Amino acid sequence: MKIAKIFPLMNDKNINRKFAETEIGSDKSISHRSVMFALLANGESVVENFLEAEDTQNSLKIVEKLGAKVERRDDKIFITSEGRAKEADDVLDCGNSGTGIRLFAGLLSSQKGAFFLTGDKYLRRRPMKRVTKPLKEIGAFLDGRENGNLAPLFIRGGEIKSFDYTSSISSAQVKSALILASLYGNDISRYREPELSRDHTERMLRGMGVDIKNISETEIEISPITKPLQPINIKVPTDPSSAFFFAVAGAIIPNSKIHLTNMLLNKTRIEAYKILEKMGAKIEIIVRESKYEEIGDIIISSGELKAVEVSENISWLIDEIPALAIAMSLANGTSVIKNAEELRVKESDRISAVVKNLRNCGIKVEEFKDGFSVEGGKLLPAVIDSFGDHRIAMSFSIAGLICGMKIEDVEGVNTSFPNFYNILAEFSQVELS
């Protein structure tokens, strides 16, 4: 088991750092999608600044196994496809990635052939019925353990019928799986969700020639495609969820400033920065360009932090809540997270992981079915169990800058942010063993 020991910053030491364009990893959601969607295009797609981390590399390997030609030149990946997936002669391993397995399940539901999707021991425990059930209803054959709820999943693509589907959860993974299947439907399909989840799939597919209309922010209409997608040509911006760990560092260490560049500024992805601002950190956002998505800078400066209550647009901060919990544990007053039951089915049960670990650090925490409350106080050094979850490991590593921390089981960090500990080591001493 890999362990990270983080030493606290020396008294009065602050952090002040401007990140160059590619120092923090590229966006994971967009990296997955760009290579998957390239498989459905006819011709050569070009992906620049693809995230080289385990989750996205697994997606790229799967795209190659499904028949695309993949070449790497300079900082670019060239993916040549004939617009369809071909049957692979092996199991397709998504590793730790929920996005990987659920989007591939949707994509393969319409393709000719038999496909097997699996993942690591954590992914094989996560619920898949949210995609297998609606996909079965529209004409694909999917099965897995527990009646199709657990991977390994078997898929036999079928003739997809159009659908009108109202999801009970705001999940971009479910939405994307259904959009991908709907491309091969026999008529226009409709998808509704309670609150808008990240919309990269809609934006990128529109850019590749798909007719996806917004009826409202939470309702879309997708027309089936009559010819393969146009190849994608994309430069992946920096991942705001990865960068957020350093944003929290900038917010909690007095007199600090973090300047993040080339950031994806989609509103469904930067809500956590707005919560930090509400808590008292100073945040400046500068839009610099727009292709598929707005891209620019976020500058975070420390401030006196006060408690906050969060119960809306949870899917906009689902990946950042563990790091926000660290800021909350140092804020004045009691912060509350509600309506966040989805956190229980992420890479770990993140409600339970945050609650257990913050308690170990001497913080008063209350656990709810759908969230937790955190009474701001003094963080104490502790031994942290990451539960194999990259975001739990990185959040408590940032807390280590304040009081020192030993984090167990940090291998998971490589799934999304392989450079994390190298960057952290610039600020304070880090020992990996």
Residue facing ligand S3P at closest CB distance: 29
Please, what is the minimum distance in Å from the beta carbon of residue 109 to ligand S3P? 17
Contact between 35 and 65 under an 8 Å Cβ cutoff? The reply is no
Cis ω on the peptide bond leading into residue 240 (within 30° of 0)? no
For ligand S3P, give the closer residue by CB, 198 or 235: 198
Rounded-to-integer distance, Cα 46 and Cα 182, Å: 24
Please, what is the minimum distance in Å from the beta carbon of residue 197 to ligand S3P? 5
For ligand S3P, give the closer residue by CB, 294 or 342: 342
Residue 126 phi/psi, 5° resolution? -90, 150
Residue 415: name the closest of 3, 20, 32 by CA: 32
Residue 160: name the closest of 112, 92, 114 by CA: 112
Which DSSP string do the residues of 121-180 spell out, in sequence order?
Answer: TTGGGS--HHHHHHHHHTT-EEEEHHHHTEEEEEEE--PBPP-EEE-SS--HHHHHHHHH
Please, what is the minimum distance in Å from the beta carbon of residue 411 to ligand S3P? 18
Please, what is the minimum distance in Å from the beta carbon of residue 148 to ligand S3P? 17
Furthest C-alpha separation in the chain: 65
Please, what is the minimum distance in Å from the beta carbon of residue 405 to ligand S3P? 23
For ligand S3P, give the closer residue by CB, 176 or 262: 176
Rounded-to-integer distance, Cα 199 and Cα 29, Å: 10
Catalytic residues: 319
Rounded-to-integer distance, Cα 385 and Cα 381, Å: 13
For ligand S3P, give the closer residue by CB, 172 or 310: 172
Please, what is the minimum distance in Å from the beta carbon of residue 16 to ligand S3P? 29
Residue pointed to by tokens 């007719």: 211
Instruction: Please give the order of strands across the beta sheet that includes 282-291.
Output: 16-18, 257-264, 293-301, 282-291
> Where on the chain is the footprint of ligand S3P (CB under 6 A)?
29, 99, 171-173, 176, 197-198, 315, 318-319, 342
Rounded-to-integer distance, Cα 189 and Cα 210, Å: 13
Q: Kindly give, in sequence order, each residue whose CB lies less than 8 Å from that of residue 344, ignoring residues fewer than 6 positions away.
A: 350, 351, 352
